[in-house]
């Protein structure tokens, strides 16, 4: 897995932005890149890499000479990238399977791109020529992707006064819960964890606390 991160429209200083990007450093221990988009203020990408393929050109955001206006941050595995290359005659410049996203988008737009990908993935695609940003993930969210406005997180305590979420990931999960079980936040007094476990993260990463709690 890798960690992909992007920020658009923030007035925070560079150091604050970097600190935000470093919150997902655990997803990619091999390398890190933080890059501002040329000609666009308050627009930047962060990437934490777990190196698997293409040691030389595998860093992100992915950019190729043929499409200088496209920026891509991608995580996952596209199973049919070679099949698509053969079908449409794409000329890849890297060995990264996610490069196919750039070629598909240039050929037929974002909807066709999403419909033709077979795999587990999440990505952030910036089209500077048309000033558009696209976020996408696989159907089941095997590769997670979260979009939360900083202002929403700041007001999370007002919207969810009982056990308010403190991270963008927990805010995302809380939205899903409230959608299916409105008004039943009392079910969540301990983030789905035993009372004796100090957990601040609602995701499966806190499962390690179960082991430590039983051993103590």
The SS3 call for residue 127 is strand
CA 159, CA 173: separation in Å to the nearest integer?
14
- Which pair of tokens denotes residue 90? 């794409």
CA neighbor of 72 nearest in space, from 18, 117, 29, 30: 117
For residue 44, indicate whether it is catalytic. no
Burial class (CB in 10 A: 0-12, 13-18, 19+), 185: middle
CA neighbor of 77 nearest in space, from 94, 97, 103, 102: 97
CA 25, CA 92: separation in Å to the nearest integer?
28
Only one residue has tokens 């997670």, namely 144
CA neighbor of 176 nearest in space, from 138, 214, 141: 141
- Of the candidates 2, 43, 44, 73, the residue annotated as catalytic is 2
Catalytic residue positions, numbered: 2
């Amino acid at each position: 897995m890798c960690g992909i991160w992007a920020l658009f429209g923030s007035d925070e200083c560079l150091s604050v932005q970097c600190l935000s990007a470093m919150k997902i450093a655990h997803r990619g221990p091999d390398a890190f890149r933080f890059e501002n988009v040329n000609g666009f203020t308050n627009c930047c990408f962060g990437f934490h890499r777990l190196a698997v393929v293409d040691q030389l050109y595998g860093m992100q955001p992915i950019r190729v000479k043929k499409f200088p206006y496209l920026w891509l941050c991608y995580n996952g595995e596209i199973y049919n990238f070679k099949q698509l290359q053969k079908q449409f005659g794409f000329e890849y410049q890297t060995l990264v399977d996610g490069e196919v996203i750039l070629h598909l988008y240039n050929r037929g737009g974002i909807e066709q791109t999403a419909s033709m990908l077979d795999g587990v993935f999440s990505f952030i695609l910036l089209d500077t020529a048309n000033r558009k940003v696209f976020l996408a993930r696989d159907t089941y969210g095997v590769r997670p992707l979260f979009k939360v406005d900083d202002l929403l997180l700041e007001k999370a305590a007002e919207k969810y006064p009982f056990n308010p979420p403190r991270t963008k990931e927990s805010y995302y999960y809380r939205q899903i819960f409230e959608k299916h079980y409105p008004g039943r936040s009392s079910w969540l007094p301990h983030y789905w964890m035993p009372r004796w476990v100090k957990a601040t993260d609602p995701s499966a990463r806190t499962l390690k606390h179960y082991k430590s709690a039983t051993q103590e």
